[in-house]
Amino acid sequence: MIITKNYRDVDCGSLRISDVGKNIKLAGWVDTIRKLGGITFITLRDQYGITQLVASESMVTNLNKEDVISVSGKVLERSSKNPNMPTGDIEIEVESFEVLGKCDKELPFEIKTSSTVNEDLRLKYRYLDLRSEYNQKMLKLRSDLMYFVRTYFNNLGFTEVQTPILTASSPEGARDFLVPSRLNPGKFYALPQAPQQFKQLLMTSGLDKYFQIAPCFRDEDARADRSPTEFYQIDMEMAFATQEDIFSVMEGLFKGIFEKFTDQKVVTPFKRIKYEDAMRDYCSDKPDLRNPLKVVDVTEIFKDTEFNAFKGATIKAIKANCGEKGRKFYDGLTDFLKSREAKGLAYVHVNQEGEFETGITKFMTEQNKTNLMNALHFEPNDTIFFVADSKDRVAKFANILRNELGKKLGLIDENAFAFCWVVDFPFYELDDEGKIEFSHNPFSMPQASIEEIEKDPLSVKAYQYDLVINGYESLSGAVRNHEPEMMVELFKLAGYDKSVVENKFPALYNAFSYGAPPHAGSGAGFDRIMMLLTKNEFIRDVIAFPMNKNACDPLTNAPTVVDEKALKDIHIMLRPEVENN
């Protein structure tokens, strides 16, 4: 490590018992101050660790916590060692010190406990929050992870290319951030939601393998696992590649990441689940495979039921061994589902004799019970939970219930990582009006000829895939459709004529007309990987300067109002209701 010599010749985490007797210089932030019998004990902190200082009380009378100081002194062996500190065997007898940066304001919160503080206060003083031990480790981990990713792709012969930040607006599934052009009145750039078109253009340019840790921008609502404005993506593309080629490269990357930065041994190849099987068994296209519970459709079993909550509904069931849980457990689950907008929760419990009791038992016929046994193979102490709703809503609530049961019953190993590829996504689906539309990515390669697609569009699968880790979509990708005529036909089936392809995606469409190789690729969420590695619930806790849940930055007050001259320069006039807000 490089150490600047004017203020320090060693960092605060390096000194050991073997350094006793040395004269050294340290610099850092005052972490704690403790006075005892005319002697002051100070802990000095920097990015690398903490070292204890010992000074006479008269020498450090005006010292405050978080002052930045440089000290000179001798390394001594501590009489009272601290085994919890890497430097706990030694201390520094201070001979002289200099205050380099005075902390003359009252701290808005204690650095050590900043994680417990109101989020907006933390973000307003983010530079203080970042001084905490956790955040220092997080920043270092981000740096190490970026280096690891770059090294991995460089070793495989990939070329790193930076794609534009200002580009044209294109439908990627989320709202664009638009940037008005001063030199082109009335026209707008867009910040890229992903480098999708550019990396495909690189494949047509003759580049064989591309990667980039790319900033991406989407105007989306915040979620625990999603930043509302920007995020970083491990982006890659390969020419003359198939789906299997992408899986091989990316499994190697993820195996390397999780084995280097956790203590887990990662087994490859990762499990593969077809989209339709994932939706059938887990009611989710991003299932957490640490949870062994599965969902079973029991609509047919209750087709003639007299139970009003089941009449005319799609019904999903989950079997879980709940032991002898009390009424409070079941009421809590019901309230939880209702808080997520479900209509309610029904259940029956299987007693020690293998008979149904409690819940909706009185509404069930003997045939219902026999059919349930054949479908679910329940045992004593099992509980069968039911959610019933419309076909387009019931999967959401069954997935929520499955996840909550996994947590409540302790079925999930919090120290494990479960990887799976979800494959064979449908190419088309029906919208609310019954019209055919693209299910996911219109530029994916279909797993059928155009003649087969025209006969039965809704049966066609795409060479499209997601990598799911512990219930989080961590990567999405596809084999690309590089054939312009097929692209036109596929858009036509979704109700778009050729002009839409030519006008909305001119660069891509024209480039493919000059000879394009088969190619495939993916984008993996860098911040989401960080979240998984650090076992964080909120993605903003692994970002150096995140926005809050309202997409605002309390530190810089972004977004801000700009003056009339700035708006005039970019040819923008605000609506009256916005101007008066």
Name the domain boundary from 47, 71, 101: 101
Q: Is residue 420 part of a domain?
A: no
Name the domain boundary from 364, 381, 408: 408
44, 28 contact by CB (below 8 A)? yes
To which residue do tokens 């989209």 refer? 275
Q: Are residues 261 and 122 in the same domain?
A: yes
Torsion sign, CA atoms 152, 155, 159, 162: positive
How buried is 215 (Cβ within 10 angstroms: 0-12 exposed, 13-18 middle, 19+ buried)? middle
Q: Are residues 146 and 263 in the same domain?
A: yes
31, 44 contact by CB (below 8 A)? yes
Output the DSSP codes for 318-356.
EEEE--S--HHHHHHHHHHHHHTT----EEEEE-TTS-E
Structure tokens at 424: 């064979």
Number of structural domains in the chain: 4
pLDDT of residue 536: 92
Structure tokens at 548: 């809050």
| Amino acid letter for position 115 | S
Q: Is residue 382 part of a domain?
A: yes
Nearest CA-CA partner of 113 in 91, 132, 140, 90: 132
Q: Is residue 286 part of a domain?
A: no
Q: Are residues 116 and 259 in the same domain?
A: yes
Give the CA distances from residue 28 to residues 45, 47, 70, 101, 234, in Å, rounded to whole numbers and listed in that order.
5, 9, 7, 10, 35
Spans of the chain, pLDDT less than 50: none
Give the separation between CA 387 and CA 504, rounded to whole angstroms: 43
The count of residues in the chain is 581
Give the separation between CA 201 and CA 212, rounded to whole angstroms: 14
Q: Is residue 2 part of a domain?
A: no
pLDDT of residue 2: 63
Residues in contact with 360: Cβ distance below 8 Å, sequence separation at least 6, in sequence order: 307, 346, 347, 348, 386
Q: Are residues 77 and 148 in the same domain?
A: no
pLDDT in tens, 184-199: 999 999 999 999 999 9
Q: Are residues 403 and 338 in the same domain?
A: yes
| Amino acid letter for position 487 | M
Q: Is residue 339 part of a domain?
A: yes
Torsion sign, CA atoms 84, 90, 96, 98: negative
55, 20 contact by CB (below 8 A)? no
Q: State which residues form the domain around 522.
A: 109-270+466-479+518-581
Q: Is residue 10 part of a domain?
A: no
Q: Is residue 277 part of a domain?
A: no
Q: Are residues 561 and 487 in the same domain?
A: no
Q: Are residues 397 and 456 in the same domain?
A: no
pLDDT of residue 556: 95
Neighbouring CB atoms inside 10 A of 247's CB total 21
Q: Are residues 68 and 81 in the same domain?
A: yes
Q: Is residue 194 part of a domain?
A: yes
Does residue 335 come out as left (phi exceeding 0), alpha (psi in the -120 to 50 range) or beta? alpha
pLDDT in tens, 303-346: 988 889 999 999 999 999 998 888 899 999 999 999 999 999 99
pLDDT of residue 245: 98
30, 50 contact by CB (below 8 A)? no
pLDDT of residue 444: 94
Residues in contact with 205: Cβ distance below 8 Å, sequence separation at least 6, in sequence order: none
Q: Are residues 154 and 256 in the same domain?
A: yes
* CATH number of domain containing 230: 3.30.930.10
Q: Are residues 139 and 263 in the same domain?
A: yes
Q: Are residues 78 and 175 in the same domain?
A: no
pLDDT of residue 187: 94
pLDDT of residue 171: 60
Q: Are residues 204 and 303 in the same domain?
A: no
